[in-house]
Chains A and B, each alone.
Chain A
Amino acid sequence: MKRICARIDVKGENCVKGKNYEGLRKIGPAGAIGHHAFDAGFDEVFYIDLVASLYRRNFDAAVVNQVASSLFIPFSVTGGVRSIEDAKALVVSGVEKVGVNTRAHQDPGLLDEMAGLFGRQFCVLAIDAKRLGSGSYECQVLGGREHTGVMVADFVKAMAPRVGEILITSIDRDGCLTGPDLELIEQVAGLCKVPLVYSGGIRNVDDIRLAFRAGASAVAVGAAFHDEGFVANEAKVLLQDEFEVNL
């Protein structure tokens, strides 16, 4: 079944949202917004700390502990995972999957180590893609603040066999409600055999339909959920003519 996930960017214990990863404004308590996502019929929640790696912090443990014992849909955490101990602490806290972004460039072996302890299905490769030109995307790290010089296509080819899922975000569309980058989805979906979650620019059910057709296994909805009252269950009712969804 295709999934509609909520994307909850966090800073400390709060949910925040920016545009193109900049100008983060506070939305509300991150834990409570996870529960709103459940009420709105989302299939899964992606918690992402955009600045954890930048400041060499870990994801807020209090948020994880609260969410894990009371949110009865899957949630993953991405941001600031730098060691196997960081990953282990998240598992014990109740996290279903852990995403690695910046560290995957610095130390790709960390994902292998995580897979060796917790299984490949536990490891999410999070990629922040910056469009350079037609069909050309660069991986950026540290919450979109630093160039890597590594092309998304090359990184996906090298890393996809070592992880359980790819979460790809279009930095150019993030928070902008300008629709998904279908070219990016098509490119990455064609290069990997693991599930692909797309994030960036999703406004409504029509955008989700296009993202699914382009090859996404799931979409992550951020700004439309926080600001536009997007309800996943309503979208799923409309999508079930073409896709299998969880209703």
Chain B
Amino acid sequence: MKVTVVNLGVNNIRSVIGALEHVGIEAAVASEPGELGPICLIPGIGHFGFVTELMTKQGWIEALRSHAAQDRPLLGICLGMQLLFKESVEAPGTQGLGLLDGRVGNMADLPLAGERVPVTGWRRLESADIQIDGRNMYFNHSYGLAADHPDCLASYSYGNARIAAVVGRGRIMGLQFHPEKSGLAGLHLLKHCIEKISTGSIDV
């Protein structure tokens, strides 16, 4: 299996490539939209507005929409997950990929009972998928979605809120946490998610 990592020149591709290779998945890098492969991964870090503008300008938005329209697997990590949605309150007026419905919200607007924002640290996942359920993963985000989103496949609790940790529909999947930075459990989960979107529908 080979996964193509989207290289925007301003995101963290090195850790993800290291993690993929560690679990025996071949990694390729796409530095322009024409280099996308059959299975693609958008790694994290970035401001929604800055990154979507860059992606629009360089043709990534169009290319990734067409990738998804052909029912090809796509995995987004952290900001890469948020990019799957149409928009984010981090940058009103800019457009994401729009592959999933809804809008990424500000964590501070959720009932956090005084918990600090950004969410920085490890949280335990809850999911109907036993490969995902009960695992601790590393999060670092100020924006996100509540777990009542229809495409939420795993969540975690923070204060009085439940936050979406994994979202997905068809062969598109997004992880709000960093599996590549979540120890051996994270590496296992990264592999599991890629296998899941590569072999069939992920709807639970």
Interface residues of A (CB under 8 A from B): 1-3, 38, 43-44, 65, 68-70, 72-74, 88, 91-97, 115-122, 164-165, 193-196, 217-218, 246-247
Contact = CB atoms under 8 A, between A and B. Distances in A.
A222 B31 CA distance: 39
Interface centre among B47, B117, B120, B138 (most CB of A within 10 A): B120
Label chain A's interface by main secondary structure: mixed
Contact of A68 (B14, B118, B121): B14
Contacts of A116: 47, 50
Contact of A117 (B15, B46, B141, B182): B46
Nearest to B90: A119
A94 to B, nearest CB: 4
A92 B46 contact: no
12 contacts: A3-B122, A44-B138, A69-B17, A72-B15, A74-B178, A91-B12, A94-B18, A117-B46, A118-B45, A118-B46, A195-B118, A196-B116
A117 B120 contact: no
Label chain B's interface by main secondary structure: mixed
Contacts of B136: 1, 246-247
Interface stretch (B60-68, B125-133, B164-172, B183-191): B183-191
Contacts of A96: 12, 15, 45, 140, 178, 181
Contact of A1 (B90, B121, B180, B187): B121
Interface of B: 9-15, 17-19, 22, 45-48, 50, 79, 90, 116-118, 120-124, 136, 138, 140-142, 178, 180-184, 186-187
Interface centre among A65, A91, A119 (most CB of B within 10 A): A119
Nearest to B82: A119
A217 B122 contact: no
Contacts of B48: 119
Which 3 pairs between the two chains have the least Cβ-Cβ distance? A69-B18, A94-B14, A246-B122
A2 B121 CA distance: 7
Contacts of A70: 18
Nearest to A1: B122
